[in-house]
Amino acid sequence: MSTYERDALAMDAYSNAVTAAAERVGPAVVRIDIERDMAPRYGRYAPPPGGGIGSGFIFSSDGQILTNAHVVEKAKRISVTLADGRKFPAGLVGSDPEVDVAVLRIGADHLPVAELGRQPLRVGQLVIAVGNPYGLNWTVTAGVVSALGRTLDVPGSKKMINLIQTDTSINPGNSGGPLVDSAGRVVGITTAMLPMAQGLGFSVPLDTMKAVLARLTQKRNAVPAGVSLGVGGMRVSLDESLRRSLGLKQQLGMEILEIRPGSAAVQAELKRQDIIIAADGEAVTEPRDLQRVVRSHSIGEKVIITFLRGGKQRKVTVVL
């Protein structure tokens, strides 16, 4: 076999590895569009005033998404576009700016997920980044792990530690997207580039992601002090045709994205993706409206929740 033939086979193997990894993780990669009142404080990340674009990936089929904290910082509204073209408003479940990791949730189930890696990374290992650089959706770039445990200290920005350094091309809009190995398993979240350097990209490692997920899960499952319905959600627009058919005047409601185990909401059989429109006859257009009504009650009292499910208006009495 000639040198040319050996090189061609090696290139084919490399191409096949990149293609297979991208095809495996691609369906779980999302585009994140942000509306802001002001730009975030991270100097190296500042997007155009009023908005920004980033990436993320679905890690749980019930609509949970990992991304960078700086992508969604100070977001007034968050919109997620799936690989199949569907768009959803998203709620912020939690964020840890110190390590630049955030979790979002959308009102959808049975979604494709990105598998999290299990093996430690090695310097020289092939890695692939998938994201939306400059708004160019679902772009794939490949490279190798250049170093591990890097510290990134950019003027005007927070110091970040224990990062993965790669020579994978990372550009604005890539932030929050997955960095995967040759098997398509997530090994990091692409987080930063050095504007004046070429071939230098950085990613948050898998162990840091898992630690953030553990902290957020513990916080979400903690029983709050005082009276609580036990739900979390976000403001959503009500479908116009549904409003007309039900004779509803209000244009907004609160979609349930989280339900705490053992809460009053569980006992009342409320479900994720239910849209609450009233509590005790008062309109609910966002989470603060619901909180205000619920907190006017004492533990053991009842509150009547009006909500939408399956195109129908329903009511349930909840014992707090």
The rounded distance, in Å, linking the Cα atoms of 320 and 314 is 19
Q: Please classify residue 138 by burial: count the beta carbons closer than 10 Å to its beta carbon, then call 0-12 exposed, 13-18 middle and 19+ buried.
A: middle
Q: Please classify residue 94 by burial: count the beta carbons closer than 10 Å to its beta carbon, then call 0-12 exposed, 13-18 middle and 19+ buried.
A: middle
Gap between the terminal Cα atoms of the chain: 76
Catalytic residue flag (residue 100): yes
List, in order, residues 6 or more apart from 111 with CB less than 8 Å away: 28, 58, 61, 62, 63, 82
Catalytic residue flag (residue 167): no
Which of 146, 175, 182, 263 is flagged as catalytic?
Answer: 175
Whether the CB-CB separation of 149 and 164 falls below 8 Å is answered with no
Tell how far CA 236 is from the center of its chain: 17
Catalytic residue flag (residue 237): no
Which of 55, 95, 96, 100 is flagged as catalytic?
Answer: 100
Q: How many CB atoms lie within 10 A of CB 312?
A: 10
Whether the CB-CB separation of 250 and 238 falls below 8 Å is answered with yes
- What element of type H or E holds 211? helix 206-221
By C-alpha distance, which of 56, 178, 170, 188 is closest to 120?
188
The rounded distance, in Å, linking the Cα atoms of 282 and 304 is 10
Round the CA-based radius of gyration of the chain to a whole number and report it.
Answer: 22
Which of 33, 70, 96, 146 is flagged as catalytic?
Answer: 70
Q: Are strands 275-279 and 252-259 parallel, antiparallel or unpaired?
A: antiparallel
List, in order, residues 6 or more apart from 234 with CB less than 8 Å away: 89, 90, 91, 254, 255, 257, 286, 287
Q: Which active-site residues does the annotation give?
A: 70, 100, 175
